[in-house]
């Protein structure tokens, strides 16, 4: 993307938002994707980067939410599938410990500490010996090789892991009974956030460039004159041209996995393999086009006269259709990784009505600040 395109993209993004989350040199994106359907095994769906807001830009965010650097917020829709993108980090020198509402989507365990774990001999739950291919007699299934994502896996993750070498696609829903974290670790232990803890190896490995996965961008569609909405925020056209503590969410580690290359052979559905197969209507779905088309500043201006309903409705993250995504074993030993996370990114998510309420009550704060700093008022040039 050249400077002109970059400035154009920034202009079209919702005011105050960013598409890439950052902390301590690490980066992450939440990718909006078509929610897959059917009982077949799907390939990796392409995605669209979701605009998110630094929490410091939202003065009316709930008091119980963390305010640490690397914390973000975004409105979401119940119509979205989604996946995590960490590919902007060093592929050979990054391990990511993920959390979905306080649960590790690789192991199904509640996040209590930010620790990398490998499972070779003992079950971490029952303490019993593991048999062939990490099978646990007590659990009744094969354990993953580790609780994090790193090379030789690609740095992305699409869903809740299953022992059969697939994941169940992450998707947002209003149905409480579909929320995986609530069912597995208890609703009282969940928080409305994703979290990603990033680790470095003690001895860096020389990296090689990697290919990126399908990302919806302007060049793929001719939609420049069409208004697209995202979470109630208007995008006048394609806004992105993407290349490819113990606390994650609240202060007590509540919320923070990878993939083999998907094949179009066998019983893998190729309906989601190529973004060229998306229609203009599909892109409306990807961008949340069913939401109300209003700009952020319009929320604050008209909010007093318009009733906002269901502002406390919790967002559930379900386990949807199967995606071909195998978690390969880390080639490094635990002793090769640093014990402490080098960076943590948190992303709170709420349905549009609650986000609307935040904007009405506090607006979007300019966190760029004074661009000249202590030179303000001083004759320069």
- Confidence label for 312 from pLDDT (cuts 50, 70 and 90): low
pLDDT of residue 180: 97
Q: Which two tokens stand for residue 229?
A: 């909405």
Contacts of 301 (CB under 8 A, 6+ apart): none
Structural domain includes residue 176: yes
359 compared with 141, residue with greater pLDDT: 359
Structural domain includes residue 347: yes
Contacts of 162 (CB under 8 A, 6+ apart): 168, 322
246 compared with 193, residue with greater pLDDT: 193
Q: Which domain holds residue 153?
A: 3-290+307-369
Taking the C-alpha atoms of residue 359 and residue 57, their distance in angstroms, rounded to an integer, is: 10
pTM for this model (two decimals): 0.76
Position 99 pLDDT exceeds 60: yes
Whether 281 contacts 319, CB under 8 Å = no
Structural domain includes residue 125: yes
Structural domain includes residue 254: yes
Structural domain includes residue 232: yes
60 compared with 377, residue with greater pLDDT: 60
Contacts of 265 (CB under 8 A, 6+ apart): none
User: By CB neighbour count within 10 A (0-12 exposed, 13-18 middle, 19+ buried), where does 298 fall?
Assistant: middle
- Return the SS3 of 183: helix
What average pLDDT does range 273-302 have in this prediction?
Answer: 37
Position 322 pLDDT exceeds 70: yes
Share of the chain above pLDDT 70, in %: 65
Position 27 pLDDT exceeds 50: yes
Percent helix, strand and coil across the chain, each rounded to 5? 20, 25, 55
Whether 235 contacts 295, CB under 8 Å = no
Which alpha helices (DSSP H) does 78-231 contain, by range? 180-185
Structural domain includes residue 362: yes
Which run of H or E residues covers position 11?
A: helix 3-12
Whether 22 contacts 70, CB under 8 Å = yes
Structural domain includes residue 61: yes
Mean of the per-residue pLDDT values of the chain: 75
Structural domain includes residue 297: no
Number of domains in the chain: 1
126 compared with 26, residue with greater pLDDT: 26
């Amino acid at each position: 993307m050249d400077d002109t395109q970059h400035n154009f993209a920034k202009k079209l993004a919702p005011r105050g938002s960013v598409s890439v989350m950052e902390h301590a040199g690490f980066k992450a994106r939440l990718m909006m994707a078509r929610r897959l359907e059917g009982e077949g095994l799907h390939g990796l769906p392409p995605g669209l980067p979701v605009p998110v807001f630094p929490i410091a830009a939202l003065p009316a965010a709930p008091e119980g939410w963390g305010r640490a650097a690397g914390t973000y917020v975004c409105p979401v829709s119940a119509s979205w599938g989604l996946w995590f993108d960490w590919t902007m980090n060093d592929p050979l020198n990054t391990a990511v410990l993920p959390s979905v509402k306080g649960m590790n989507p690789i192991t199904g365990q509640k996040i209590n500490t930010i620790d990398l774990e490998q499972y070779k001999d003992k079950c971490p739950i029952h303490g019993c010996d593991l048999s062939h291919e990490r099978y646990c007699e007590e659990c009744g299934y094969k354990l993953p090789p580790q609780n994090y994502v790193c090379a030789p896996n690609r740095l992305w993750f699409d869903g809740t892991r299953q022992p059969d070498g697939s994941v169940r696609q992450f998707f947002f829903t209003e149905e409480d009974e579909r929320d995986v974290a609530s069912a597995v670790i208890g609703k009282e232990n969940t928080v409305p956030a994703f979290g990603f803890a990033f680790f470095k190896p003690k001895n860096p490995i020389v990296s090689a460039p990697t290919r990126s996965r399908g990302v919806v961008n302007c060049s793929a569609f001719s939609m420049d004159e069409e208004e697209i909405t995202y979470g109630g925020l208007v995008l006048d056209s394609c806004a992105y041209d993407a290349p490819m503590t113990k606390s994650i969410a609240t202060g007590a580690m509540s919320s923070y996995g990878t993939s083999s290359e998907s094949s179009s052979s066998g019983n893998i559905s190729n309906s989601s393999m190529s973004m060229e197969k998306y229609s203009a209507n599909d892109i409306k779905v990807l961008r949340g086009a069913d939401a109300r088309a209003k700009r952020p500043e319009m929320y604050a201006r008209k909010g007093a006269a318009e009733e906002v309903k269901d502002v406390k409705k919790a967002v559930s993250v379900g386990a949807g259709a199967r995606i071909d995504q195998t978690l390969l074993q880390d080639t490094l030993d635990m002793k090769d990784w640093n014990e402490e996370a080098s960076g943590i990114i948190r992303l709170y998510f709420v349905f549009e009505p609650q986000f609307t309420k935040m904007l009405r009550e506090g607006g979007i704060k300019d966190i760029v600040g004074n661009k000249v700093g202590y030179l303000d008022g001083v004759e320069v040039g």
